[in-house]
Amino acid sequence: MGADSGPGAPAPVPWRKVLYERQPFPDNYVDRRFLEELRRNIRVRQYRYWAVVRETGLIAQQVSCVALFLTLWSCMERGALVPSAVLWVCLTCALLGYGLYEILGGSCVRERTRLADLQSATIFLAFTFGFSPVLKTLTESVSTDTVYAMSAVMLLAHLVSFPYAQPSPPGSLSLNAALFGSVCLASRLPGALHTFTMLSCALLVFALWPCLLHRMREKAEWSFPWAAVLVCLAGVGGLGSLWPEGALLLALALLTLTLVCPLLLVHLQRHKDNIHGPWDEAEIREDLSRFLN
């Protein structure tokens, strides 16, 4: 619809897309040029299959870390592993990982000194060791089924809320969920030393390892796929020693996650159809940071 036209009517007024002047057109009027500004898929990101596979390795290795942690807990609960031996292995891995983290950091500016890191580790170990008898009896009045259900929910929440885009440091929600689930499981172990060992393993797996992995992704990209593959193999192998059927299911899930899901993403990306035009909200592309100072 446009302005009225007739033999005695004035020449038609051209429509302009402005709001600051009155025009003889309805408010919802658009002319034939409206769809000339239609654009399709101007911001669609094109993915490469192997690049997506590489990124899904972070998710697969995190799932394997949870499987590996549950394997350690099961072995300690059955008495197949001595807590002192596991504790020494964790301490050795922590020292090696810290040294590798420092080497990969190179000449980067440190926000914390090594003395501060040592103080934090000492405080954590001292408090955890001191409160281990309390944590051991924390869930005595709770049924075992309820404890296992809470642990499963918390570990699942850890996987869902884990900041895969920026895993260093781990998100507070994901880390707290993992530690809460670890405390629930550790309270079902035979002794206080078992509880202390299990919580130390939880800190190593869920807090320190993501930081090292993030540093490897930044400074040594070639090492990240190998580290993810090794963690996945360790998770499947550890679970296979206790539950072969579960290890098979885990292996199928990891293969689906790392190979099939990226293939579906790349395939479905071709059918993506986003339209953009004058009906979109205005975007301010000018740098306005100078007004915030």
Other CB atoms within a 10 A radius of the CB of residue 288 amount to: 8
Hey, what amino acid is at 247?
A: A
Check if the beta carbon of residue 257 is closer than 8 Å to that of residue 61.
Answer: no
Contact (Cβ atoms closer than 8 angstroms) between residue 260 and residue 21: no
What are the structure tokens assigned to 127, written together? 């408090």
- Outline where the chain has alpha helix (H): 49-78, 83-105, 114-136, 144-161, 172-186, 192-203, 209-219, 223-242, 244-255, 261-269
Q: What is the pTM of this model?
A: 0.79
Q: How many Cα atoms within 13 Å fall on the side-chain side of residue 105?
A: 14
- How many whole angstroms separate alpha carbon 118 and alpha carbon 108? 19
DSSP 3: -
Q: What is the arithmetic mean of pLDDT over 165-191?
A: 85
pLDDT at 292: 59
| Angle ∠(152,171,226) on CA atoms, nearest 5 | 80
Whole-number percent of the chain with pLDDT over 90 = 46
- Dist. CA 179–CA 202, nearest whole Å: 7
The tokens describing 235, both together, are 């998770």
CA 162/CA 60 separation, integer angstroms: 12
- pLDDT tens readout for residues 5-47: 444 445 577 878 777 788 888 877 877 777 777 788 777 788 8
Whether residue 120 contacts residue 211, with contact meaning beta carbons closer than 8 Å, is answered with no
How many Cα neighbours within 13 Å face the side chain of 230? 6
pLDDT tens-digit series, residues 89-140: 999 999 999 999 888 876 666 777 888 888 888 998 899 999 898 888 888 8
d(CA 187, CA 272): 50
User: In angstroms, rounded to a whole number, what is the distance separating the alpha carbons of residues 249 and 160?
Assistant: 19
**Spatial distance between the Cα atoms of 186 and 192, rounded to a whole number of angstroms:** 9
Structure tokens at 68: 């590996």
pLDDT at position 8 is 45
What is the pLDDT, as a whole number, of residue 219?
87
pLDDT of residue 165: 80
Give pLDDT, residue 2.
46
CB atoms within 10 A of CB 40: 11
Do residues 79 and 245 touch, judged by C-beta distance below 8 A? Answer: no
**Read out DSSP for 133-200?**
HHHHTTTTTS-HHHHHHHHHHHHHHHHHH--SSS-SSPPHHHHHHHHHHHHHHHTTSSSHHHHHHHHH
Measured CA to CA, the distance from residue 107 to residue 209 in angstroms comes to 21
